[in-house]
């Protein structure tokens, strides 16, 4: 009788189950997968922590579903291309994402417009919307800041904010981009973050705010915040693990749950996707990718992606995102990257 060792048997069983339940939408709802992501991010942040490694091993051993989720996550991590976290990223201009509706006919007109956009965008930072604010972070660089009250801020690439503190309150305006706040508690002086028409009010907590001139995203790591937009009639109180996305143009709001460790993944140079539309991930790379990103296939942009990607190499991350969905990347000089389907 032929025998199969335990490791090989586990691999065969894992691959068979992966055929059934590895769809991005199912993984996003799988508590074992979410927990595996949480362990992975914690180990990435503290790779030499022996006690943490033992705790992770114990978690895997207590349930076959845990072990299976961990093995699957490790395969995903290898496939999406792990690179050393210390890899340097040169300063480079931000990359707006251009999407052309299907109604545009004629590739000559599209490419003519895209090339013209490249020239304009190369000069645009010199003409308008420069660094601005009291604090700014250039594209491709994450900055650590300490505000005058002692609150800590991590500012993502191509982001800027302004602050105004007095005896009655602490006001910060996020002018663009993304920031993570660790707020020092002060009951007498509420801490308010403004982004467009919305306000985020806290007393002492840690949370992410991202704003792209239209959509606001707030995610709470610990503590609580109130998000309000009087013009849209929106008011939400968020607790740890809550994530709110608010479209300031049409008032649509979506509230989801997310493990706390995933909220700060971008600060460690990681982009975590759980059944996330490709177009949304491409937009998340725009402060890390050089030049203009042209996504001209709406159906491709709607494809769901699950994985952990290295923000320190946005080109490799982009390739890993699009390849499983038949996408390809082509560059035209340093200023234009095009994402399309394979012919």
Q: What is the mean pLDDT of residues 68-95?
A: 54
Tell me the pLDDT tens digit for each residue of 231-271: 888 889 999 989 999 998 888 899 988 877 777 788 888 88
For the ranges 11-25, 41-55, 64-78, 115-129, the one whose mean pLDDT is highest: 41-55
Q: Which of 30-39, 79-88, 112-121 has the lowest mean pLDDT?
A: 79-88
> CATH no. for residue 295?
3.55.50.30
The answer to whether residue 47 is domain-embedded is no
Given a cut of 80, whether residue 117 has pLDDT beyond it is no
Residue 73 pLDDT:
77
Indicate the pTM of the whole model.
0.62
CATH number (domain holding residue 211): 2.60.120.1440
Domain end residue (candidates: 225, 240, 262): 262
What is the domain count for the chain? Answer: 2
The answer to whether the beta carbons of residues 199 and 169 sit under 8 Å apart is: no
**pLDDT over 70, % of the chain:** 72
Final residue before a domain boundary, out of 232, 262, 292: 262
Kindly calculate the radius of gyration of the chain based on its CA atoms and give it in whole angstroms. Answer: 22
92 lies in a domain?
no
* All residues at 6 or more sequence positions from 235 whose CB lies less than 8 Å from its CB, including other chains: 226, 227, 228, 229
Look at residues 236, 262, 288 and tell me which one is the last residue of a structural domain: 262
Domain limits for position 184: 135-262
Q: Encode pLDDT of 61-79 as tens digits.
A: 888 888 888 887 777 666 5
């Amino acid at each position: 009788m032929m025998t199969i060792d335990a490791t090989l048997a586990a691999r065969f069983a894992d691959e068979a189950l992966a055929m059934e339940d590895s769809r991005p939408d199912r993984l996003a709802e799988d508590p074992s997968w979410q927990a595996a992501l949480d362990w992975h991010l914690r180990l990435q942040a503290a790779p030499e922590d022996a006690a943490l490694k033992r705790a992770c091993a114990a978690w895997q051993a207590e349930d076959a579903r845990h072990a299976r989720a961990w093995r699957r996550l490790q395969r995903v991590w290898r496939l999406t291309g792990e690179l050393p976290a210390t890899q340097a990223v040169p300063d480079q201009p931000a990359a707006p994402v251009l999407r052309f509706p299907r109604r545009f006919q004629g590739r000559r007109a599209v490419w003519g417009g895209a090339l013209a956009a490249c020239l304009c965008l190369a000069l645009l930072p010199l003409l308008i919307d420069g660094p601005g604010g009291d604090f700014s972070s250039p594209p491709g660089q994450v900055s650590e800041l300490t505000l005058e009250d002692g609150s800590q801020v991590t500012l993502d690439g191509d982001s800027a904010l302004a602050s105004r503190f007095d005896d009655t309150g602490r006001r910060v305006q996020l002018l663009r981009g993304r920031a993570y706040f660790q707020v020092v508690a002060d009951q007498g002086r509420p801490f308010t973050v403004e982004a467009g028409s919305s306000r985020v009010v806290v007393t002492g907590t840690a949370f992410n705010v991202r704003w792209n001139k239209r959509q606001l995203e707030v995610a709470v790591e610990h503590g609580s915040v109130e998000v309000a937009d009087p013009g849209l009639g929106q008011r939400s109180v968020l607790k740890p693990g809550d994530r709110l996305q608010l479209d300031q143009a049409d008032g649509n709001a979506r509230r989801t749950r997310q493990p706390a460790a995933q909220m700060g993944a971008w600060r460690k140079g990681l982009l975590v996707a759980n059944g996330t539309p490709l177009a949304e991930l491409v937009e998340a790379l725009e402060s890390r990718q050089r030049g203009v990103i042209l996504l001209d296939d709406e159906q491709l942009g709607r494809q769901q992606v699950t994985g952990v990607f290295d923000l320190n190499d946005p080109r490799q991350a982009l390739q890993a995102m699009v390849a499983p969905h038949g996408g390809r990347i082509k560059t035209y000089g340093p200023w234009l990257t095009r994402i399309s389907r394979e012919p």
